[in-house]
Amino acid sequence: MDGSKSETLALVPPAALGRLMPMFLWVSVTGHVREAGPTLLKLCEGRPLLGCGFLDVFEITRPRPVASVTELEMLAGRRLHLRLRDAPDTAFRGLAVPLATGQGVIVNLSLGIGLAAAVSQHELTDADFAATDLAVELLYLQEAKSAVMEELHGMNLRLAHARTAAEEKARTDPLTGLANRRELDAALARAAAGAGNGGAPFALVHIDLDFFKAVNDSLGHAAGDEVLMRVSQILREETRKSDVVARVGGDEFVLILRSTTDPDGVQALSRRAIDRMEEPIQFEDQFCRISASVGVTVSSLYAAPDPDQMLLDADLALYASKRRGRACCTVFTPGMEVPEDRRAPG
């Protein structure tokens, strides 16, 4: 660079140079900052910059540390990695261009990959960048990407919620909101496997409503639905969260009880539920009257509880309750005989 060109560059008004390079530094031969671009001054707001030693404010980390303007000039044309020595230690990329002898060095900086963080931290706007600087476009692209990623995240959450709702619906009886047969089978398999491996015991309770068919025949299915919902409410209130309450047929319910597993306790729970179910249930201006028969078996009766066998045994105990006159609870005992007729009319 000849002297006339260097002198012309040095005489360019700082404001004009700042519009072209908002993050430039003019470093004198003594190593002091003579001028700085407006964006750089904004980034260093609150700390002295003009008149300060360049290397007191900035640390050059790559391609190697420097200790003087002479060493800085030796890195002319090479990409520099710099950072502010004091917090916030904002990182920069830079390029140094020596001026004529005695005029020092021009260092032009950019924010590099730390653009987004610096924009947020220092509240920069597009006015803080040169009109030809691609940083603003890159920032817009990043913001667009963030918006897209946020929308995708929201969509994934909605899909996950929809999937959870669909799975819940597949496991739930649509009328009563209780577990359905599919969910019961899965829960019973888990309970049986756990008890067979030395885990917590459980009781299996099979409930069939008495006189439910008469309600449907005389008052219609809407009345029957009202009865089923009332029965579901009673069973929820008589059990605990650790128990499973399922509707497995039109008027059949199955409970997996962990909170009460001894036969006497299960019979007491069943008696309370039966007594509540026998209370008249109002439907419009009519009263529905039902009862319930209950069969029970407990996992402790089996060396290795088998879900199918337990369901069969609870069903046999239920049938025994029907044969005894309904509205009662029977606990299965080993050796209970299978009757010739499978079920008395409901």
Secondary structure of 226-255 as H, E, C letters: HHHHHHHHHHHHHCCCCCEEEECCCCEEEE
128 is catalytic: no
Residue 336 is given by DSSP the state P
As given in the structure block, the two tokens for residue 211 are 């006189």
145 CB contacts (<8 Å, ≥6 apart)? none
Which of 133, 173, 208, 251 is the catalytic position? 251
Nearest to 297 by CA among 182, 190, 191: 191
- Residues 219-241: b if buried by 16+ CB within 10 A, e if exposed: beeebbebbbebbbebbeebbee
Q: How far is CA 314 from the centre of its chain?
A: 40
Residue 55 forms beta bridges with which residues?
none
Pairwise CA distance, residues 319 & 213, whole Å? 17
Q: Name the H helices within the chain.
A: 3-10, 14-20, 38-43, 54-57, 69-73, 115-122, 135-170, 181-196, 212-219, 221-238, 263-277, 307-323
Pairwise CA distance, residues 294 & 318, whole Å? 5
Active site residues: 251
